[in-house]
Structure 1
Amino acid sequence: MNISQQPAVARPRARGTERSVARRAELIAIGRKLFADTSYDALSMDDIARQAQVAKGLIYYYFQSKRGYYLAIIQDSVTDLVTFAASGLELPAVDRVHRTVDSYLRFAEHHQAAYRTIVSGGVGFDAEVHAIRDGVREAIVATIAEGAYGRSDIAPLARMGLLSWVCSVEGATLDWIDHSELSRETMRELLVKALGGVLRAIEELDPAYPAPQPARRDA
């Protein structure tokens, strides 16, 4: 009797969950557009609800607060970035690095307010935003390590070398989106060449991690 009752209870919950997930995803998609180049402080919950054309209570229902909504938007954007960066395993190492750096710059270019929040750590010391930023850093380090060395589990020296490059990329990218004096293509090539220097320095200090040789490209 209990067994026969379980499906009848489970089905409505499943449908409700599907609707909730879809509605939440829709609100995040709307928020990504609203916050694409608008800072957290520049939009009130009333502004957000009006521009999103939804009841303010609906946003509170799914995200509890404006900050919760913003963090969900940032996390969703970052997930897209990290997922794309980690894909393309079939590509040659050099092509994959170019693809990863280009996708990183595209994200910063098209989500400037969110990117500034992630890199700067939010308003004051925001532990959750710091955690998101650290997660992005580790994901990029792992992606570069996979491309350069065929594995993400690398020695501390190699990891620190790649992390130092990622941190320098953050600062350079912040300046780039503020001034936009270089094209994305030029910026990408500059960052890739800087990575090449870091990889050679790692090899010099630890020969167990040889720098990958760039593939020759047809002229």
Structure 2
Amino acid sequence: MIFAITHPRNGSFKTTTAVNIAANLGIYEKKTLLVDVAGGDASTLLGCERSLPGITNIYRGGERIVDYVVPTRSPGVDLLPFGTGSFGFGMFWESLLEELQSEPYTYIVLDVNLNQYPPLGARYWNWMFFLNHRSPFQVEDARAVESMAHLVSSVADLSFRVINMGEHAPALEGLDIFETSLPIDSSIRRYTTPVANSQITSHLSRSFTQLTNEILTLS
């Protein structure tokens, strides 16, 4: 299964969510690959060097994307780093995922900034998960999410679901919602490793575990 974690803006916990879901999938012994298409923070959270070459360094035909995959400190989780290049593939980046179909991963998690790197067709994806929380920009965010879902569904056969964060998250029209809501406060930015591996008794860790259990039920 391939699914993307995304939000219209930076600084909205995309990477934190993607990394922690991937870590929980690894704990459940599901071989997982996290693909960083958001800028490099995932490498840091997974204990890897931010300067590692990755998806943005692939410029020429014939290169193998799997040669850039590295193991992480999180059991069962590998990482395809963002890299240090200028992303020569641009909007065609998601075509690189075709090669990963033959790799032994049960789950491929995309940490993706869709504003900068929108998918051309998302034809290899199964799900797209939108983060949703209150903010001064929530009206604009809701419109952007709904527009992105409409755009992608017009060219690809995939499903959408919303991950609510915090209390009183705004409603998003026409999109299903996970039952689990993630807590959101200042502590969520304090963690420098997946909470599933370091803060297993915390409310945040338990919430990510519950959310991962819901994801495991999807087909």
Settle same-fold status: TM greater than 0.5: no
The answer to which structure has the higher strand fraction is: 2
Mark the structure with the bigger radius of gyration: 1
TM normalised by structure 2 equals 0.24
TM-score with structure 1 setting the length: 0.24
User: Using CA pairs below 8 Å that are at least 6 residues apart, which structure has the higher relative contact order?
Assistant: 2
Structure with the largest fraction of helix:
1
